[in-house]
Amino acid sequence: MSEQIEHVECLIIGSGPAGYTAAIYAARADMKPVMYEGLQPGGQLTITTEVENYPGFPNGVEGPEMMTMFKEQAVRLGADVRFGLATAVDFSIRPFKVIVDESKEISAETVIIATGASAKWLGIPSEDKFKSNGGGVSACAVCDGFFYRQKEVAIVGGGDTACEEASYLAKICSKVHMIVRKDHFRASKAMQHRVETTPNIEIHYETVTDEILGDTTVEGARIKNVNTGETITLPVQGFFVAIGHTPNTWIFKDYIDLDEQGYIKTIPGTSKTNVEGVFACGDAQDKVYRQAITAAGTGCMAALDAERFLAAQHSAVMS
């Protein structure tokens, strides 16, 4: 801990629609917010394609472009947006202590947690082997689909993300195999209809991944029917995983109440956590809606709650 401790009124941990919206509101309230963007500046929308359902963009907008605009707005209004990852916290007393990149210490009057959620993996050894060496396993079709132009690929999952990514891949790749473990999708009817009616998407229901095959790069995937145990090998060169997300909340677990899946518990109708002065917004506390617009809304709530908390503290000191 070589550097001097920096004191801030409002520290925002994590970017994405929730964090940037919190930064916009906190900056306009003159709270001089400092934001650390985390490992994936801009959050999950930076790895998506077109966003069609965010109000105000009648023709849709690319996710990364939208996040650039969010950031520009926050910076223009005075937010101090920095690259860095919060690696430890101490919320036992206020001002709160937050360590960034294991080296810099911040002392914060209020903290807004906007750390989002990260992709889940299947957890089989062959997945690990190929994802760590860039050998053909990915959790982001938009980032890596390009490498499989006119090739055959597989994608695991039956949710909206898997359907969205399968549709995206179908435009680039010669064929897309969807591996769905149940006999039905979890995705919305509209997304389901889209994949079912795309000619180069083949859906394998009640099927799980037995093994991803290959030496240094993916050369196939062996999939197994959960009822019969029968296996077949798909001749794929790319293998995508789209099976949901885990909230990025583990550094807070000693202080902040989390639910059984690790999502931050907030007082209903607010962004308040069990620690006064610490607020949570976005996907880190929302496993139900998980939309950019709802994340932005809760980011706004967090900044307003933080502003009111600080105002109450100041008036208590004055009286």
Phi, psi of 118 (to 5 degrees): -120, 160
What is the CB neighbour count within 10 angstroms for residue 55? Answer: 6
Taking Cα atoms as reference points, which of 77, 111, 66 lies closest to residue 252? 111
Q: Which is nearer to ligand NDP, 171 or 182 (CB)?
A: 182
User: Closest separation between CB of residue 80 and ligand NDP, Å?
Assistant: 31
Q: Which is nearer to ligand NDP, 20 or 168 (CB)?
A: 168
- Say whether 144 is catalytic: yes
| Catalytic entry in 80, 128, 140, 210 | 140
How far is residue 94 from each of residues 57, 136, 217, 310, measured CA to CA in Å? Answer: 41, 46, 50, 12
User: Closest separation between CB of residue 91 and ligand NDP, Å?
Assistant: 28
- Say whether 163 is catalytic: no
User: Closest separation between CB of residue 163 and ligand NDP, Å?
Assistant: 8
Q: Which is nearer to ligand NDP, 230 or 254 (CB)?
A: 230
- Say whether 300 is catalytic: no
The residue ranges that bind ligand NDP (CB under 6 A) are 122, 156-162, 164, 181-182, 186, 243-245, 290
How far is the C-alpha of 2 from the C-alpha of 105, rounded, in Å? 9
Q: Which is nearer to ligand NDP, 161 or 298 (CB)?
A: 161
How far is residue 5 from each of residues 34, 226, 232, 276, measured CA to CA in Å? Answer: 14, 56, 58, 22
- In the bound complex, which residue of the shown chain has the CB atom lying closest to ligand NDP? 159
User: Closest separation between CB of residue 278 and ligand NDP, Å?
Assistant: 25
Q: Which residues contact 180 (CB under 8 A, 6 or more apart)?
A: 157, 158, 162, 203, 204, 205, 206, 207
Q: Which residues contact 156 (CB under 8 A, 6 or more apart)?
A: 122, 162, 178, 179, 209, 239, 240, 241, 242, 243
* DSSP three-state, residue 92: coil
| Catalytic entry in 144, 283, 286, 305 | 144
User: Closest separation between CB of residue 157 and ligand NDP, Å?
Assistant: 4
Question: Residue 177 belongs to what H/E stretch?
Answer: strand 175-179
| Catalytic entry in 30, 90, 101, 143 | 143
Q: Which is nearer to ligand NDP, 84 or 116 (CB)?
A: 116
**What is the set of active-site residues?**
140, 143-144
